[in-house]
Amino acid sequence: MTGQYGDSTRSVKAVASEHVPGQPIASPPVPVSAYHLSADESEPLDSYGRSSNPTWRQLESALAALEGATTALSFGSGMAAITAVLRVLAGPGTALVVPADGYYQVRRYAAEYLAPLGVDVREVSAADMCEAAGSADVVLAETPINPTLDVVDLHRLAMTCRSRGATLVVDNTASTPLGQQPLSLGADLVVASATKALSGHGDLLAGYVAGNHPEHMAAVERERLLAGAILGPFEAWLALRSLGSAGLRVERQCHNAMAMALMLREHPVVRSVRYPGLPDDPAHQVACHQMKRFGGLVSFELADADAVHRLVARSNLLVAATSFGGIHTSLDRRARWGDPVPAGFARMSLGIEDTDDLVSDVATALG
């Protein structure tokens, strides 16, 4: 039913509390570690704060609705969600494919913690994902890839994984469920950081796992209980509060990203631009098939590191910051973090400022 609604309607409906006269429309957070138990020793819905929380349930049902999943599970960060799934799926002796060009700390985790346990970790670039999936047990794909913004053909990858019996996990952080729904394209599980555009205000860390297989989700929930990487009730509440305006924010961010990409492409000091929404971007065709929106990130290359720093210094609107998806437009020179990109490569995260203000500010600051 909610699938027929637009994104802002879906965001608002997803966070609405139950209609109970006299009760608040917006639910308050429930900070709690222990709940009253009954004398008959029956298992109550809530008993201890590491296993459940009413605010989590609300956030999780909102996230599940947006991802088109039966179940979502919240975590204390995106990395907590991703590593929980990897620990569940990638045991000793399994072959795990991780993106060679994606979020760097996922690769580091796989190399530093999973490989020594006997997991066969294979770092594979976006272009070679489908081929590598043929001989893997678990494939973690990220699309659009942070920070290069290349796009992985999820339908094709899911078909390959399915035919070979591999489990496909998709990191949906960059796009958000308002931009693409990997489960509907054949992914088995979605993992994501809600720290970025979904919460969108740069004031909390959160992550989630979403899926439709009861056995996968039960195993991930068990892992969360035992490993304890839970989301605090206040952060859960802040994330829920933010989700209601996600449709509105993401729409403006995507609109700003397209306008910025078009300007950057024409600017004489910009060497190259990647944005899946540009009609001549190498990823545009695939992006059109699987993305509803092309996202709020634009990557481009200037002459060198100095040129990136000069751009921020001359601009009145750009904030120098890592992370992305917030209401402020921010810029990050990715080579400083060790990403395999040129020194002058910058990732811009478009905020919700007025489009004309942003584009003319950056055009002028570029000189």
Contact residues for ligand PLP, defined by CB under 6 A: 77-79, 82, 103, 142, 146, 171, 173-174, 193, 195-196, 205, 207
Catalytic residue among 7, 87, 103, 224: 103
Q: Annotated catalytic residue: which of 101, 153, 171, 332?
A: 171
Residue 137 is a catalytic residue: no
The residue among 320 and 359 lying less far from ligand PLP, judged by its C-beta, is: 320
Shortest CB 5 distance to ligand PLP, Å: 27
Could you identify the residue written with the tokens 């999820």?
Answer: 154
- State the catalytic residue, choosing from 13, 50, 156, 241: 50
Token pair of 22, please?
Answer: 């006299």
CA angle 81, 57, 55 (to 5 degrees): 100
How near is the Cβ of 60 to ligand PLP at its closest, in Å?
16
Token pair 């006997």: residue: 118
The least distance separating ligand PLP from the CB of residue 348, rounded to whole angstroms, comes to 14
Which residues have C-beta within 8 Å of that of residue 286, sequence separation ≥ 6?
A: 151, 152, 153
Of 352, 361, 349, 356, the closest CA to residue 327 belongs to 352
From residue 206, how far is each of 9, 198, 250, 342 by CA, in Å? Answer: 23, 10, 18, 30
Q: Which is nearer to ligand PLP, 107 or 267 (CB)?
A: 107
And the tokens for 38? 């009954």
Residue 17 CB, shortest distance to ligand PLP, in Å, is 26
- Decide if 50 is catalytic: yes
Can you read off the two tokens belonging to residue 205? Answer: 């860390």
Q: Which of 205, 348 has the CB closer to ligand PLP?
A: 205
Q: Shortest distance, CB of residue 43 to ligand PLP, whole angstroms? A: 32
**Interatomic CA distance for residues 8 and 27, integer angstroms:** 19
CA-nearest of 304, 298, 300 to 344 is 304
Residue nearest ligand PLP (C-beta atom): 78
Give 167 or 195: the residue with its C-beta nearer to ligand PLP: 195
Nearer to ligand PLP, 9 or 323 (CB): 323
Q: Are strands 297-301 and 272-274 parallel, antiparallel or unpaired?
A: antiparallel
Judge whether 103 counts as a catalytic residue: yes
Tell me the catalytic residues.
50, 103, 171, 196
